[in-house]
Chain A
Amino acid sequence: MTRLGETLLALAGAAAVLALAYAVPWLRFVLTIALAKGLAVLGILLLLRAGQVSFGHALYLALAAYGIAFGTMAVPEALVLIPGAALLSGLVGLVIGLFVVRYREIFFGMLNLALSMVFYSVLEKFYAVTHGADGIRLGPVTYLGRPLAGEAAEWAVLAVALGLALAFGALVRVALASPLGEALAGIKTRETRLDFMGVSPRRVLLAAYVASAVMAGCGGAIIALTTRHVTPAIAYWTTSGELVFIAILGGAGSVLGPFLGAAAYELTRVYAAALVANAWQMVLGLVLLAVIVFAPGGLWGMIARRRPA
């Protein structure tokens, strides 16, 4: 699909999100969460381009979410907290990245999983600080110095999430078309060739890894500001699995895929839960199976196939 086509689709999607959030007030929350998860999946998409799957990106979601939860006690300004939380995730991503980019495929995935579960245990074990599974309730937050609550705060978070989604979407779109993006694809096809060209695959993967940590951090920050309550469940491996699930559902062909997947995932989940409260997991499973069987390229794949560029 052409750049213009994708831009128009992205803007149409953003308009649709705003329209839906206006018309159906309770969906505002669901859509904000979907955008937040979409941001994190966008980071995973970068790694997928290099053929690597991380089963531990919930670590960065949780780092940022807890960063926000503790941060509100000191600085209650959202527009300071969000970059701060993303920076925290990015820095930790850099340190962890130095180790994990030495590994590939299943080892890469499992090492990430292990580290995220270490953080989960820390959140549970340091009970006096984190309140364990009960979690931390966020204090009041200001946006540009204005204390917002209720509906105004919901709109503010949604606007921030939408802005971040568009900005990072554009950034990743550019990055994937740049030499860095091509090098990432090179890691997937044959890594040694990169070495021969004088490009360090580790450094390329590290850059992508840190970027993905920052994006997951932004997602985690949005989730914390939306739910206003953080628990260790956000660091659990099922959350990481969810992100990979969304990546598959949305398709890795375009930067729109993660957001499409996240919206489809969240909407399927709430509607399934509303219809069959005790079997919603089955509905979700069947949807994923259907996507794998009938649309191996994910939801984006279905769209792109219908509208060849």
Chain B
Amino acid sequence: MPGTGRGGRDAGVWTRREALAGAGATAGSLLLSGRPAQAQGQKPAEIKVGIATYLSGPASVFGVPGRQTAEMLFDEINAAGGIAGVKVRPIFVDEGPGVDHFVGEYRRLVQSEGVHLLFAAISSADCIACAPLSDELKRPTLLWDCGTQRIFEENRYTYAFRTQANATPEILSALLYLLRAKPDFKSIAVINQDYAWGRDSWDIFRTAMNTLKPGVKVAAELFPRFGATDFSTEITRVLALRPDVVLSTSWGGDLDALIRQASDRKLFERATFVMPLAESSLQRVGKALPPGHIVGARGDHWFLHPAPADPERLKRFTESYRSRFNAYPIYPCFHMAQAVSAMKAGLEKAVAAKGGGWPTDAELAAAFRGLEFPSPTASVRIREDGQGLENQIIGTTLHSERYPFPVLTDMVVFPAETVTTPVGQKSADWLKTLTPEMVARLPQALAFR
């Protein structure tokens, strides 16, 4: 619709900065002139991207690397002349204060900043809240990191797309890997954070385990407080119960503390740990995590991926991240890279479909459906329901002299289609239809080189 301002604002209406001047809220340096409203379908001066990430709170262990990656990749795109000749600019917002603040920030980004698209979010609650909002405000939104499988299984959206997998493939691959690596385990204990993710991920794991290997004894279900720093009770309990396997989908400081304390008390010698998110903790815990334990990365995210589609691309990504931020990229970096790649591919597709003209919001959103775009390690396809199809990598820890932290060996790369709930089905039902032959058909494990 030509002539309609972004966010439906008319010419005489205030922008944020003018409103700020009116409210007299802050000092004079901020009182810049208002930005002219951009028309739909007209080439903008710059592409503004609102990015929701955790800049404060415990999940900033993911949010800050995500932000760093975005800054790095946006700089790279701009150095190469932008997307379809237009430069890109990120506008970051903090998810730290919770959903009600985030919903306000989402509206601000769309209605005041006039962003062309959004990357949101790390928190599943924020994703669940903003997906309907994207349809309401009609602004393309890429769900870049949140895990919950509920979003596209329970609803359909026109403007929201996920550029990565969800909890079901992430947890199922870890279970399949365990079933092949240690087929005769008899008992399992779980130590998960006591919040939605900890509960959800255990539900997925248990449902699939009861289908693929019925009769495994659940020795203990332990849900320490989110943000707990002391796991002595849980470790003592598990030491006494002697399960064959310990599952923990914890992350961040919780997982670091659990690994260090379990290591001190030799729990790693008694049981095989399965930690689907531990890739993000490896560099922090270092060799406190012994070899021989199963580690995942919420996707095929590993800077030493054994068979990347484009080895040069992965190497370049790893090296530029490392030289700029002095760390190896972890999974949120890869997730951010996927969102950036999807944005680039989607915009280019939409521009090409219009024969070089600039797409409207609706045309841009339509371009994401069915889009296939490269990731640092392979490629991701967005299905017709908006869910991304992303491969999964699971490996076993190994101590190498070349790195001050454990690396992965015996890596299995699970093709996305084999582990993702099909379109139109719910994970809880689909997991119950799995058959043990699935384990036999797994791809070959690849060793660390």
Whether B108 pairs with A132 at a CB distance below 8 angstroms is no
Binary interface profile of A, 265-309, with partner B (CB < 8 Å = 1, else 0)?
A: 001111101110110110000000000000000000000000000
Binary interface profile of A, 219-247, with partner B (CB < 8 Å = 1, else 0)?
A: 00001001111010110000000000000
Q: Give A132 to B7 CA distance when docked, in angstroms.
A: 33
Within the complex, what minimum Cβ distance (angstroms) separates B28 from chain A? Answer: 13
Given contacts A25-B7, A231-B99, contact A278 B124 (CB under 8 A): no
Q: CB < 8 Å: which of B93, B104, B136, B150 contacts A30?
A: B104
Whether A124 pairs with B30 at a CB distance below 8 angstroms is no
Within the complex, what minimum Cβ distance (angstroms) separates A100 from chain B? Answer: 25
Within the complex, what minimum Cβ distance (angstroms) separates A284 from chain B? Answer: 10
Whether A278 pairs with B55 at a CB distance below 8 angstroms is yes
CB proximity to A under 8 Å, residues B95-121: 97-101, 103-105, 107-108, 110-112
Whether B100 pairs with A234 at a CB distance below 8 angstroms is yes
Binary interface profile of A, 142-162, with partner B (CB < 8 Å = 1, else 0)?
A: 000000011000000000000
Within the complex, what minimum Cβ distance (angstroms) separates A202 from chain B? Answer: 35
A24 at the interface (CB under 8 A from B): yes
Contacts of A268 in B (CB 8 A): 25
Whether A134 pairs with B194 at a CB distance below 8 angstroms is no
Binary interface profile of B, 408-446, with partner A (CB < 8 Å = 1, else 0)?
A: 000000000000000000000000000000000000000
Whether B136 pairs with A149 at a CB distance below 8 angstroms is yes
B241 at the interface (CB under 8 A from A): no
Q: Which chain A residue lies CB-closest to B56?
A: A281
16 interchain pairs, CB-CB under 8 A: A24-B19, A26-B7, A33-B104, A132-B199, A135-B125, A223-B100, A226-B100, A228-B103, A229-B99, A229-B125, A231-B98, A270-B104, A273-B94, A274-B108, A277-B93, A278-B56
Q: Give A134 to B30 CA distance when docked, in angstroms.
A: 36
Hey, which bits of chain B sit against chain A, CB under 8 A?
A: 7-9, 13-14, 16, 19-20, 23, 25-26, 30, 55-56, 92-94, 97-101, 103-105, 107-108, 110-112, 124-125, 128-129, 132, 136, 148, 150, 194-197, 199-200, 226
Whether A137 pairs with B128 at a CB distance below 8 angstroms is yes
Within the complex, what minimum Cβ distance (angstroms) separates B288 from chain A? Answer: 28
Given contacts A227-B100, A270-B108, contact A25 B125 (CB under 8 A): no
Q: Give A229 to B197 CA distance when docked, in angstroms.
A: 18
Within the complex, what minimum Cβ distance (angstroms) separates A12 from chain B? Answer: 15
Contacts of B25 in A (CB 8 A): 267-268, 271
Whether B111 pairs with A125 at a CB distance below 8 angstroms is no
Whether A228 pairs with B129 at a CB distance below 8 angstroms is yes
CB proximity to B under 8 Å, residues A15-48: 20, 23-27, 29-30, 33
Whether B103 pairs with A227 at a CB distance below 8 angstroms is yes
Main secondary structure of the interface of A (DSSP, over half): helix
Contacts of B14 in A (CB 8 A): 23-24
Q: Which chain B residue lies CB-closest to A24?
A: B19
Q: CB < 8 Å: which of B7, B55, B129, B226 contacts A227?
A: B129
Binary interface profile of A, 184-224, with partner B (CB < 8 Å = 1, else 0)?
A: 00000000000000000000000000000000000000010
Binary interface profile of A, 117-146, with partner B (CB < 8 Å = 1, else 0)?
A: 000000011010001111101000000000
Within the complex, what minimum Cβ distance (angstroms) separates B132 from chain A? Answer: 7
Whether A275 pairs with B92 at a CB distance below 8 angstroms is no
Q: CB < 8 Å: which of B104, B129, B195, B196 contacts A137?
A: B129
Contacts of B226 in A (CB 8 A): 133
Whether B112 pairs with A26 at a CB distance below 8 angstroms is yes
Q: CB < 8 Å: which of B55, B98, B104 contacts A29?
A: B104
- Give 9 nearest A-B pairs by CB, closest first: A26-B111, A132-B196, A229-B129, A134-B196, A133-B196, A278-B55, A133-B195, A233-B98, A24-B19
Whether A271 pairs with B107 at a CB distance below 8 angstroms is no
Within the complex, what minimum Cβ distance (angstroms) separates A25 from chain B? Answer: 5
Within the complex, what minimum Cβ distance (angstroms) separates B369 from chain A? Answer: 23
Q: Give A226 to B129 CA distance when docked, in angstroms.
A: 12
Q: Give A137 to B9 CA distance when docked, in angstroms.
A: 28
Contacts of A23 in B (CB 8 A): 13-14, 19
Contacts of A231 in B (CB 8 A): 98-99, 125
Contacts of A134 in B (CB 8 A): 124-125, 128, 148, 150, 196, 200
Whether A133 pairs with B132 at a CB distance below 8 angstroms is no
Q: Give A233 to B112 CA distance when docked, in angstroms.
A: 26
Q: Which chain A residue lies CB-closest to B194?
A: A124
Q: Which chain B residue lies CB-closest to A275?
A: B30
Contacts of B105 in A (CB 8 A): 270, 273
Within the complex, what minimum Cβ distance (angstroms) separates B290 from chain A? Answer: 31
Q: CB < 8 Å: which of B7, B103, B125, B195 contacts A124?
A: B195
Contacts of B199 in A (CB 8 A): 127, 132
Whether B103 pairs with A229 at a CB distance below 8 angstroms is yes
Contacts of A226 in B (CB 8 A): 100
Contacts of B136 in A (CB 8 A): 149-150
Within the complex, what minimum Cβ distance (angstroms) separates A212 from chain B? Answer: 21
Q: Give A30 to B105 CA distance when docked, in angstroms.
A: 9
Whether B94 pairs with A278 at a CB distance below 8 angstroms is yes
Contacts of B196 in A (CB 8 A): 127, 131-134
Whether B128 pairs with A229 at a CB distance below 8 angstroms is yes
Contacts of A275 in B (CB 8 A): 26, 30
Contacts of B124 in A (CB 8 A): 133-134
Given contacts A25-B8, A233-B99, contact A135 B94 (CB under 8 A): no
Q: Which chain A residue lies CB-closest to B110?
A: A26
Contacts of A131 in B (CB 8 A): 196
Whether A269 pairs with B101 at a CB distance below 8 angstroms is yes
Q: Which chain B residue lies CB-closest to A233?
A: B98
Within the complex, what minimum Cβ distance (angstroms) separates A204 from chain B? Answer: 34
Among A26, A124, A125: residue with most chain B CB under 10 A: A26
Among A33, A267, A269, A274: residue with most chain B CB under 10 A: A274
Whether A132 pairs with B195 at a CB distance below 8 angstroms is yes
Q: Give A27 to B105 CA distance when docked, in angstroms.
A: 10
Q: Give A191 to B148 CA distance when docked, in angstroms.
A: 53
Whether B23 pairs with A227 at a CB distance below 8 angstroms is no
Among A124, A134, A149, A277: residue with most chain B CB under 10 A: A134
Given contacts A23-B19, A137-B129, contact A29 B103 (CB under 8 A): yes
Contacts of B200 in A (CB 8 A): 134
Q: Give A150 to B134 CA distance when docked, in angstroms.
A: 11
Within the complex, what minimum Cβ distance (angstroms) separates A266 from chain B? Answer: 8
Within the complex, what minimum Cβ distance (angstroms) separates B191 from chain A? Answer: 16
Given contacts A137-B129, A270-B104, A271-B20, list 13 more A-B pairs with CB under 8 A: A25-B107, A26-B107, A26-B111, A26-B112, A33-B104, A134-B128, A135-B125, A135-B129, A223-B100, A231-B125, A271-B25, A273-B101, A277-B92
Whether B103 pairs with A27 at a CB distance below 8 angstroms is no
Q: Give A277 to B93 CA distance when docked, in angstroms.
A: 6
